[in-house]
Structure 1
Amino acid sequence: MKNNRSFKHIYIIFAVSMGAIAACIIKSIPLFYGFFIGVFFSIIVFMRNGFSFTALIKMILKGIKECFSVYIIVLLMGSIISVWIASGTVPTMIYYGFDYIVHMNYLLACFMIMVVISFAMGTAFGTISTIGIALLGIGKGLSIPEPILLGAIISGAFIADKISPISALVNLTIKTIDINYKDFFKNMLATLIPTLIVSAIIYYILGKSFTGEVDVSTLKAYQRNIFNTFTISPALLLFPITMIILAVVGVKVIPNMTFGLLGGICISIFFQGIQIKELMHAILFGYHARTGIEELDGILRGGGILPMIEVIFIIIGAVALSSIFEGTNTIAPMIDKMASNIKTKGALIARTSILSIVLTTVACDQTIGILLPGKFLKAKYEEFKIKKTILARSIADTGTTIAPLIPWNVNSIIITVITGVGATAYGLYTVLCYVSPVITILFGYLFVNKKEEFGNF
């Protein structure tokens, strides 16, 4: 009876929280207000059921404190995006990327360019709202339908949230599950490589249907103004490559990102000749390029510490809600009930994937879909003798990745605001976002279930 009451409380809290989050989205109110309403309501509910206000606040503060490094990472990410544009690193990626577009299947080129740049930038939105908008505009000149174009662009962009070493969501995942990025990265490759191959093949086939010529004059104009505004050099590409290598070999994320930020600052000042005052303003508020082409200026802008504050508040709200569920021991019985009849490793991975997808769907954001499975399924993975990196991979491949497919999710709403194309239109063509969960679940049944092979996957 106690468990039934606990489940009822969770359902009520989730309903109120999700209703508040949905209202924030509809009314264009910052999303963290919805999470804070959920936290406030959950405090009232649990106080009425015997928990003291002091005890609940301690639970919240404990959870928030444990994720302190994630907040630092979010602020560093905002700073790095600004500095990497100012230093010429992102403009160099775009400058040389346009050279390859002319000679490739355009749809496949969009996907591959977004994969590379989003991995380096560590943010799906940052990549979509910069290079993604440019690729979308050029593709429309080839008479490629916008939903198909946007599907390829979003598929490539969400590689950032799956595996980039400087992604806030990736670092929230590895922090929650208590693993290091090196092990996470190695384990992710097992499902990421086939996902990329399948997605690339599908985009290649789709792209063959559109044989129009790229508007070379537009690309050349963009390249010319980038070249006139920034000092462009292939050497600048070594900088993000070095950061990625450092992350893969095991350098911790905050020192690595600090190196990236300081290095970018030095390049901006001594190589691009930017004034310190101007650079500090860009780090705080975001960088805004002045290239002489309005569309290009819209591409070469973004980042900043202050715009990241809202992201931090969203994470704090989600962490606070999760911490109350954990501290009151009300979510664990619910997940235990869900996992009680699991008999195989493959079934556990499939159930993890479904739980993460459901939580991301109802929460309108990926954070809850990471935190709750990450916190409460660790013991189950230990029971089945499955490495925690498999848990992290299952979440990253499913709940994290499917967000742009859900029309009411904050990710898809922002994409719609940026591009004018809704999730119901582009969703079918966002191949990677639904191929990834399928491959992860199949992989769990086909390989992880084989005990003798498990250690290699």
Structure 2
Amino acid sequence: MTEDEISIKNKTSYLIVLFILLSIFSCIIFKLSLSYAFFTSIIFCSYIYKKNGLPVLKTLNIIKETLIECKSLIILIISIGAIISAWLISGIVPAMMYYGLEYMQNLNFLLAAFIITSLVSFFMGTAIGTVSTIGIALLGLGKAFGIPGYITLGVIISGASIGDRISPISSLCNLTIEGMKTNYKNTLKSVLTTLIPEYFICCFIYYLLGKNYNISNKVSNINSLTFALNKSFHISPTLLLVPLSIVVMSFLGINILKSVSIGIILSIFSAIFIQGISLKTTILIIFTGYKAHTDFAVLNKILLSGGIISMFGILLILIGALSLSSLLCKTKTIDPIIKKLTSKITSKGNLIFKTGIISGLLTSISDQTVGIIIPCSFLKKKYEKMKIDNNILSRTISDTGIAIAPLIPWNANALFIVAVTGISVSLYLPYAVLCYVAPIITFSTAFLTSCTKSHKCYIPKLHE
């Protein structure tokens, strides 16, 4: 036991988790910021820890160390708030919309949006980065085609989530690999056995859904919008090099924070030298947000952003969530609950099922990082004991703890998406198909495994 660990009894662990959940649900019911729930829970945990032998200063030190470790994520959130406004005022998003309107009229837009975001996300290695860049442009295109924003956003989130799960430069994917002490090739092979059917199910659903929106009937609206874009901005293919450069840099392994920072600088140059906007105005808009003031009302409703200032609310929630997660993890508060859940596992299918439940619950009450680290550390020996390939554990975590994050209103992913788009989780949730098809397939696999006498799984195979 380290100096930061304390002995937590089972009842105390359940009490802490219950308090956290009640705090979160209370904030949702009364429409309060979730920061109240997280900081109240931190105070409650500190009181419990002090009674169990952990000084308050130690608790504060855990939080301080966590925030220092996560400073890159905090800076990234601020940077993404900046780049959205920068891409709008520089004409990058309008240019992406202009060429998208021209070339996507004959396509099934929702299916195309899903495929595009999944590919971009794989190369960028981040769902958040994908949603806040190419996702914003696609959201604008969807509105131009007459598709409700919440439907398009659900599709975008489905595609973007793939990067977090299988991209070689994804921090979550690499965290899972490190936790399992395996390699990318084996992990990818395992994850793809469920991801491939998930992907084709989503393609089929989005194809059918996309057929309900006949873009050809919107030709006059599309022509009006392209005219508006061309009149309000200087549209040039050169502007597309900025988002392309971010994707290329991400694929080459350049840190996403550095890529986004370079993207902001290039956007500022584009605003000044291509759009003719002054440096002072550009910087001001990056901080305070962008709102188009054109002669076209439809365009003004599409081209909006809150800037860096709009990120402060989500940053406060994120800091609270990260601090609370680190307390639960480093003090091993949840350990008694995990031990209880895994104490009576009798079959391989049951182990897979409970792995998904544990990973999903941990992501629900904290974040994806905790939903990865704790199952890896707790269940790895259990998988070895039952002679199940550890890559199955990686895959189960990918299909549950990582996949469901955008569906949880108080999770950092969902909070970020809402802050950037203004669309609530309850609206886009039914259309973020991949995020709930993934756990359904994993739990179905676990059920099939439990139903076989030999405990061998039909699809996908347990021994790969």
TM tier relative to shorter chain = 0.7 to 0.9
- Higher mean C-alpha deviation, range 102-111 or range 295-304: 102-111
In the alignment, structure 2 segments of 5+ residues that lack a partner are 1-5, 447-456
Residue pairs, 1:94-133, within 5 angstroms: 94-109=97-112, 111-112=114-115, 122=129, 124=131, 131-132=138-139
Q: Is 1:139 matched with 2:149? A: no
Amino acid at match of 1:237: L
Task: Measure, in 1, the Cα distance between the counterparts of 2:130 and 2:354.
Answer: 27
In the alignment, structure 1 segments of 5+ residues that lack a partner are 141-145
Change (3 A) 1:67 1:269: same
Could you say which residue in structure 1 is the equivalent of 2:368? 370
Could you say which residue in structure 2 is the equivalent of 1:434? 436
Task: Measure, in 2, the Cα distance between the counterparts of 1:237 and 1:393.
Answer: 35
Could you say which residue in structure 1 is the equivalent of 2:157? 157
Q: Is the 8 A contact 2:38 2:321 kept in 1?
A: yes
Deviations 1:304-345 (A, max 9, x none): 222212222222111211222233222234324434566888
Q: Is the 8 A contact 1:111 1:153 kept in 2?
A: no
Amino acid at match of 1:433: C
Amino acid at match of 1:157: I
Change (3 A) 1:236 1:342: farther
Q: Is the 8 A contact 2:82 2:307 kept in 1?
A: yes
Q: Secondary structure at the match of 1:28?
A: coil
Deviations 1:345-380 (A, max 9, x none): 87666544323333455x4xxxx1413222323324
Residue pairs, 1:47-58, within 5 angstroms: 47-58=50-61
Amino acid at match of 1:233: S
Q: CA RMSD in A?
A: 4.2
Could you say which residue in structure 2 is the equivalent of 1:30? 33
Task: Measure, in 2, the Cα distance between the counterparts of 1:255 and 1:196.
Answer: 30
Amino acid at match of 1:57: L
Change (3 A) 1:67 1:207: closer
Change (3 A) 1:291 1:160: farther
Task: Measure, in 1, the Cα distance between the counterparts of 2:97 and 2:19.
Answer: 44
Task: Measure, in 2, the Cα distance between the counterparts of 1:392 and 1:313.
Answer: 31
Q: Is 1:271 matched with 2:274? A: yes
Amino acid at match of 2:146: G
Amino acid at match of 1:436: A
Could you say which residue in structure 1 is the equivalent of 2:224? 221
Q: Is 1:301 matched with 2:304? A: yes
Could you say which residue in structure 1 is the equivalent of 2:22? 19
Q: Secondary structure at the match of 2:235?
A: coil
Amino acid at match of 2:400: T
- In the TM superposition, what is the alpha-carbon distance from 1:217 to its structure 2 partner? 1.6
Q: Is the 8 A contact 2:157 2:406 kept in 1?
A: no
Change (3 A) 1:266 1:187: farther
Task: Measure, in 1, the Cα distance between the counterparts of 2:231 and 2:117.
Answer: 24
- In the TM superposition, what is the alpha-carbon distance from 1:40 to its structure 2 partner? 0.9
Which of 73, 77, 89 aligns to 1:74? It is: 77
Task: Measure, in 1, the Cα distance between the counterparts of 2:135 and 2:37.
Answer: 25
- In the TM superposition, what is the alpha-carbon distance from 1:88 to its structure 2 partner? 1.9
Residue pairs, 1:205-244, within 5 angstroms: 205-208=208-211, 213-244=216-247
Q: Secondary structure at the match of 2:400?
A: coil
Q: Is 1:327 matched with 2:330? A: yes
Could you say which residue in structure 2 is the equivalent of 1:402? 404
**TM-score normalised by the chain length of structure 2:** 0.76
* Number of positions where the alignment pairs a residue of Structure 1 with one of Structure 2: 429
Deviations 1:65-121 (A, max 9, x none): 221211111111111112122222211221122224421235435545665788877
**TM-score normalised by the chain length of structure 1:** 0.77
Task: Measure, in 2, the Cα distance between the counterparts of 1:231 and 1:51.
Answer: 61
Task: Measure, in 1, the Cα distance between the counterparts of 2:410 and 2:330.
Answer: 29
Could you say which residue in structure 1 is the equivalent of 2:283? 280
Could you say which residue in structure 2 is the equivalent of 1:62? 65
Q: Secondary structure at the match of 1:398?
A: helix
Change (3 A) 1:187 1:177: closer
Change (3 A) 1:345 1:50: same
Could you say which residue in structure 2 is the equivalent of 1:257? 260
Amino acid at match of 2:81: G
Could you say which residue in structure 1 is the equivalent of 2:3? none
- In the TM superposition, what is the alpha-carbon distance from 1:223 to its structure 2 partner? 1.3
- In the TM superposition, what is the alpha-carbon distance from 1:154 to its structure 2 partner? 0.7
| Percent of aligned pairs with the same amino acid | 33
